[in-house]
Amino acid sequence: MLPIYTTPANNKKIDALRAKLSLKPLLLEGLDDENDVPNQSAFEIVRKILRDVQTRGDAALLEYTQKLDHATLTAETLRVPQSAIESAVRSADPRLLAVLDIAITNIRHYQSAMLTPPPPSIPLPDGTGKLGMKFTPLNRVGLYVPGGAAAYPTSVLHTVIPAQIAGAKNICICSPMRNGSVSPAVLTAAHKLGITEIYAVGGAQAIAAMAFGTNTVKPVDKIVGPGNTYVQLAKKELFGIVDIDSFAGPSEVIVLADDTAAPQQVAAELLAQAEHAPGSCLLITTSRKLADAVQAELELQIKKLTREKLTREALRFASAIIVTPTHEEALKLTDAFAPEHLQITTKSSHEDAQRIQNAGAIFIGPHTPVAAGDYLAGPSHVLPTSGTAKFFSGLSADSFRKRTSLIEFDQQSLDTFGQTIVDFAMIEGFDAHAKSVVVRDKTTQSTTR
């Protein structure tokens, strides 16, 4: 079912697995190594779409929606009408309404509690002046919610709620159509959160519309949310015109387990991630007995899954069982992979969670499946993938705020530090900088004249 690698004997194969999960091959695809010229690639396809939407606006948006999503829209129907949203809510499965309420409560609770408060005023080291910061919510944000073969109302909750908690005033959603409309479940989730600005467009063209704006879609300040390769490349290309959350690859999980873990639970956790297709799932353990038992359990459980074929394909993509000689090596290897999701079931789960430096989200102990975070625990399920947890954090309410520094010198502050500022400015050759201090501070030397 899955290859079983042991360290150090199979270190090269493990390195190859890490390389397969890396974003580097995709992000470097647009350049020819020898001639440094663009290749026809996903990059070029995305760039063409972006240019078209930037220059032709709604007309390009409608063309690409027809061509790529096989949906016929007009400028008047790009935005989902309120009547369609209300109709989706009226016909919603009562179970959906119930689980949305629970998830919304939990996510709001967590995001509100984690919002970083501004610190108190901080004096300079000599006790003078005032230093501080203020937080300002982004004015307008755009959220991308995948559609097509699968639609995720949870993505609405995990992007909209953090933005609302941050205080973002204007929020719009782009989600592609399937079966003639945006997913009713997505519309219902948006309605629960009071979001009425929803556009029935997807792909790179949706990202372009939110970044550049069209006659129908107003431009945003930040774009977040999961999506396929073309969506992610579009976000990357437009970073700087707008802010983005991160560049996301396929979903992934590492289960860090020892002989205290139940093979049935470990196998179920791996299959839950592989079900995303593509998805990567790894078991890292010191127990060969557990590895063999999980291998057998995977084959038993996968046959009972609705998405068996897709899940098998995902297991072939970039998944494995890795057996290490020591628990210390298992921890180091986990950190090296920097997984999106990390589920820990070991004798020392809490201690191991503290020792791990690189993971998007950590699920501690045998009673905490990754699905808890996917749906309703509270932290956003928009998390860094492909090893980027080494430098990215998961989405949160703070992702939708700007931090502005506050600096206030008084006369004593300028008396204390003015000459140092002048000296720095003259060393760097900026006499106008120096003079801006001299005109305020009589104690500085007239070195700028």
Question: So which residues are the catalytic ones?
Answer: 340-341
What one-character-per-residue DSSP string does 57-124 give?
THHHHHHHHHHHH-----TTTSBPPHHHHHHHHHTS-HHHHHHHHHHHHHHHHHHHHHPPPPPPPB--
The token duo for 206 is: 């949706």
| CA separation, residue 170 to residues 173, 210, 283, 353, 362 (Å) | 10, 12, 42, 37, 32
What pairs with residue 254 in β-bridges?
Answer: 282, 342
Determine the distance from the C-alpha atom of residue 27 to the mean position of all C-alpha atoms in its chain, rounded to a whole number: 17
Amino acid identity of 38? P
R_g over Cα of the chain: 26
The continuous run of DSSP H or E covering 20 comes out as: helix 11-21
Nearest to 388 by CA among 8, 26, 7: 26
Q: Number of helices (H) and strands (E) in the chain: give both, helices first.
A: 18, 13
CA distance 211 to 222: 8
CA distance 299 to 327: 27
Nearest to 239 by CA among 203, 216, 210: 210
Q: In this structure, how many other beta carbons lie within 10 angstroms of the beta carbon of residue 339?
A: 32
What region does 225 belong to: left with phi over 0, alpha with psi -120 to 50, or beta?
left
Pairing of strands 361-364, 341-345: parallel
The continuous run of DSSP H or E covering 436 comes out as: helix 431-438
Q: Are 319 and 270 in contact (CB under 8 A)?
A: yes
Q: Are 25 and 216 in contact (CB under 8 A)?
A: no
Q: For residue 105, which phi and psi values (nearest 5 degrees)?
A: -60, -45
Q: Are 169 and 136 in contact (CB under 8 A)?
A: no
